[in-house]
Amino acid sequence: MFEIENLLNRRTVKKFSAEKISNDVLDQAIRVAYRAPTSLNSRPVILLDISKHKNEDWINFQPAAQTAPHLFLFAVSPEAGEKNAREFLAGRYGSEIGDERVSATIKKIVAQRDEWARQQAYLVTAYFTAILEASGAAGCIIAGFDKKVASEKLELPDSYTAELIFACGFADPGNDGSVETDFVRKFDDFYFPAD
Ligand SMILES: Cc1cc2nc3c(=O)[nH]c(=O)nc-3n(C[C@H](O)[C@H](O)[C@H](O)COP(=O)(O)O)c2cc1C
């Protein structure tokens, strides 16, 4: 069901057939995304199925959104992340979330709260997309949209902002609209093994 070969040959697809990804595969991808690494148990990322919004102005100019049967949104809340991290640390210290040791630990580990939360959105997205692509499904990451407008239109929960969208399904066999990265940089210039 999941093949590493599919990932080794992966490419972005921007034109899709109407076929949907099975619920089993989607369920596995969502569960793996949920298990993505998180810092201080902060879990600042949520995943929303926004497929029904694909014809809205804020996203329908994106080629991949036009035919994708599924649109998933990764939204992030630095505020929720800090709250969760504080609860986690308070549990560890047996103290309150506003405790000095809790604040000191957060300060030491979290250089920049927004960036810290966003990094985790990228990780969750990577886990999710890789599982779907390993199954033979395909998609396109979309970062080019107005995040403020999207967050309003989608009526996201308080303090969450839209970060990335994954438009996905199966490549249109006639025209998959794929734009493969030209890997001009050699693999040897990418990976440096231990001496
Ligand atoms: C962070 C990021 C943002 C992207 N945003 C968009 C986008 O807004 N619209 C789009 O059509 N493709 C977007 N893409 C997909 C690229 O266009 C795609 O990776 C490119 O076509 C190369 O194809 P490949 O993934 O097969 O190498 C994005 C990709 C990444 C990694």
Three-state DSSP state, 165 = strand
Alpha carbon distance 110, 190 (integer Å): 28
Ligand 1 pocket member 62 (CB < 6 A): yes
Ligand 1 centre to CA of 177 (Å) is 12
Residue 137: the pLDDT is 98
Q: Confirm if 123 and 33 have CB atoms less than 8 A apart.
A: no
Ligand 1 pocket member 140 (CB < 6 A): yes
Ligand 1 pocket member 146 (CB < 6 A): no
pLDDT digits (tens), the chain, 195 positions: 899 999 999 999 999 999 999 999 999 999 999 999 999 999 999 999 999 999 999 999 999 999 999 999 999 999 999 999 999 999 999 999 999 999 999 999 999 999 999 999 999 999 999 999 999 999 999 999 999 999 999 999 989 999 999 999 999 999 888 877 777 788 899 899 998
Among candidate residues 83, 67, 70, the one with its CA nearest the CA of residue 29:
70
Domain boundaries, the chain: 4-181
Q: Which of 9, 11, 12 to mutate to test the pocket of ligand 1 (most atoms within 8 A of CB)?
A: 12
Residue 87: the pLDDT is 97
Ligand 1 centre to CA of 14 (Å) is 9
The amino acid at residue 67 is T
Q: How wide is the angle at C-alpha 13 spanned by C-alphas 73 and 19, nearest 5°?
A: 75
Which architecture does CATH list for 4-181?
A: 3-Layer(aba) Sandwich (3.40)
Q: How wide is the angle at C-alpha 106 spanned by C-alphas 125 and 102, nearest 5°?
A: 130
Q: Confirm if 69 and 169 have CB atoms less than 8 A apart.
A: yes
Rg of the Cα atoms in the chain: 19
